[in-house]
């Protein structure tokens, strides 16, 4: 029987019906309002560019002139490699495309900005020390391999790599103590991996040493330069961890900054690759915090940090 018929018969009083309807509407609105408020709370702006990154951006990224031959140079990738990389689909951002990320185009090869960036990398090489080289090579090995699974000999170390950014905040900051955090960050890495590679193939930017013969690069790259995976992943981790422990924001961001700069020291990336990655990371994390599945997992991680995110100072052996 319809509601208006029940009201006509006196089964339901109009005042009661209106009260129930108002409560239902308020509840529904409240749920949407709470969700929207939650999303807005995590919609962070990008901090302003600074230092030499800002200085380099004062140069024009436009081609020196139309039809410059050097601007035709692109990093060529065979289609089979592209298909393989992009076969690992996102877990959270499955309804997002690479075009949803608004990155600045990388500077043209013939541009004044690219020339300034190459000049900067030449100066970096002049000043880098053996310790710089050792440190940067070490950082090159810090990444999460999506092809390593439980039971593999390197599984534990692979999971530990997810905690390199922020490693100094406590002895509890590890995958053994925070397994839900490790699972979340592994899923995030998978999502990021997809979009990083999609954008690399979209822009197909060549590496700096392919333009500047004076550079003595310490690695050979097998993929396009823009954006850099190391920098993007590092800033993504920093931005997520800062939501869990905002008091350590400076630590997380400094770790990401150091990881990013290591790619310039090794001379496989332009500074604009790194800055583009920082922009991508901020947009990526903002999109994660608009995703219901991610938010559900993130709430569990927050509970894990509230319970386990502290040192165990119990006296076990006595003095």
Burial of 167 (0-12, 13-18, 19+ CB in 10 A): middle
pLDDT digits (tens, 9 = 90+) for 247-256: 999 999 999 9
Residue 135 lies in a domain: yes
Regarding whether 167 and 70 lie in a shared domain, the answer is yes
Residue 21 lies in a domain: yes
What is the mean predicted confidence (pLDDT) over 37-44?
70
199 close to 98: Cβ distance less than 8 angstroms: yes
Regarding whether 204 and 95 lie in a shared domain, the answer is yes
Regarding whether 67 and 85 lie in a shared domain, the answer is yes
Round to whole Å and give the CA distance between 52 and 56. 6
- The DSSP-derived string for 211-231 is T-TT---SS---S--SS-HHH
Residue 313 lies in a domain: no
CB count within 10 Å of CB 292 equals: 10
Residue 60 lies in a domain: yes
What is the mean predicted confidence (pLDDT) over 57-78?
97
pLDDT digits (tens, 9 = 90+) for 163-188: 999 999 999 999 999 999 999 999 99
Share of the chain above pLDDT 90, in %: 85
User: How confident is the model at residue 41, as a pLDDT?
Assistant: 72
Regarding whether 29 and 107 lie in a shared domain, the answer is no
Segments in the chain forming alpha helices (H): 3-9, 14-41, 51-56, 79-85, 112-127, 130-140, 155-160, 179-203, 229-244, 249-265, 271-288, 292-308
Q: Which of 49, 298, 54, 84 is nearest to 187 (CA)?
A: 298
Q: Taking the mean position of all CA atoms in its chain, how far away is CA 135?
A: 22
* Average pLDDT over the chain, rounded to an integer: 91
Distances (CA, A) of 104 to 20, 64, 93, 179, 242: 51, 18, 21, 36, 25
Residue 319 lies in a domain: no
Round to whole Å and give the CA distance between 208 and 215. 8
Position 314 confidence tier, pLDDT thresholds 50, 70, 90: confident
214 close to 122: Cβ distance less than 8 angstroms: yes
Residue 317 lies in a domain: no
- Whether the per-residue pLDDT at 27 is higher than 60: the answer is no
Share of the chain above pLDDT 70, in %: 86
For the domain that residue 250 is a member of, what is the CATH number? Answer: 1.20.144.10
What is the mean predicted confidence (pLDDT) over 75-96?
98
Regarding whether 163 and 125 lie in a shared domain, the answer is yes
- Whether the per-residue pLDDT at 8 is higher than 60: the answer is no
CB count within 10 Å of CB 60 equals: 15
Structural domain containing residue 97:
48-308
Backbone conformation region of residue 76, classed left if phi is above 0, alpha if psi is from -120 to 50, else beta: beta
Token pair 């500077």 in the structure block, residue:
107
Position 317 confidence tier, pLDDT thresholds 50, 70, 90: low
User: How confident is the model at residue 36, as a pLDDT?
Assistant: 52
Residue 318 lies in a domain: no
Regarding whether 231 and 293 lie in a shared domain, the answer is yes
Regarding whether 71 and 20 lie in a shared domain, the answer is no
pTM more than 0.75: yes
Q: Which of 238, 231, 236 is nearest to 166 (CA)?
A: 238
Regarding whether 59 and 29 lie in a shared domain, the answer is no
Task: Count CA atoms closer than 13 A to 163's CA, side-chain side.
Answer: 22
Regarding whether 103 and 28 lie in a shared domain, the answer is no
pLDDT digits (tens, 9 = 90+) for 240-249: 999 999 999 9
For 93-121, give one letter per residue: b (16+ CB within 10 A) or e.
beebebeebebeebbbbbbbbbbbbbebb
User: How confident is the model at residue 20, as a pLDDT?
Assistant: 45
User: How confident is the model at residue 42, as a pLDDT?
Assistant: 82
pLDDT digits (tens, 9 = 90+) for 258-272: 999 999 999 999 999
- Whether the per-residue pLDDT at 214 is higher than 90: the answer is yes
């Amino acid at each position: 029987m319809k509601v208006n018929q029940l009201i006509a018969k006196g089964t339901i009083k109009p005042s009661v019906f209106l009260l129930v309807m108002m409560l239902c509407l308020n509840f529904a609105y409240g749920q949407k309002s709470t969700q929207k408020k939650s999303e807005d709370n995590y919609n962070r702006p990008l901090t302003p560019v600074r230092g030499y990154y800002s200085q380099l951006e004062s140069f024009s990224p436009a081609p020196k002139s139309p039809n410059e031959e050097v601007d035709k140079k692109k990093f060529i990738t065979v289609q089979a490699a592209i298909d393989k990389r992009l076969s690992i689909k996102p877990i959270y951002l499955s309804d997002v495309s690479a075009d949803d990320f608004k990155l600045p185009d990388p500077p043209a090869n013939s541009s004044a900005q690219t020339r300034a960036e190459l000049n900067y990398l030449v100066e970096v090489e002049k000043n880098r020390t053996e310790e710089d080289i050792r440190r940067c090579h070490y950082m090159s090995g810090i990444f999460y391999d999506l092809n390593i699974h439980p039971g593999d000999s390197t599984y534990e170390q692979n999971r530990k790599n997810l905690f390199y950014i922020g490693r100094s905040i406590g002895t509890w900051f590890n995958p053994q103590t925070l397994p839900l955090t490790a699972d979340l960050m592994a899923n995030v890495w998978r999502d990021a991996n997809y979009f990083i590679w999609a954008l690399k193939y979209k822009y197909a930017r060549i590496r700096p040493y392919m333009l500047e013969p004076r550079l003595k690069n310490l690695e050979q790259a097998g993929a396009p330069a823009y954006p850099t995976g190391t920098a993007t992943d590092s800033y993504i981790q920093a931005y997520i961890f800062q939501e869990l422990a905002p008091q350590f924001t400076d630590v997380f961001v400094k770790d990401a900054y150091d990881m990013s700069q290591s790619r310039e020291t090794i001379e496989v990336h332009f500074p604009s690759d790194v800055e583009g990655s920082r922009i991508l990371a901020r947009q990526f994390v903002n999109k994660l915090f608009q995703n219901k599945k991610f938010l559900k997992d993130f709430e569990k991680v927050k509970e894990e940090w509230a319970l386990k995110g502290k040192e165990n100072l119990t006296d076990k052996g006595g003095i």
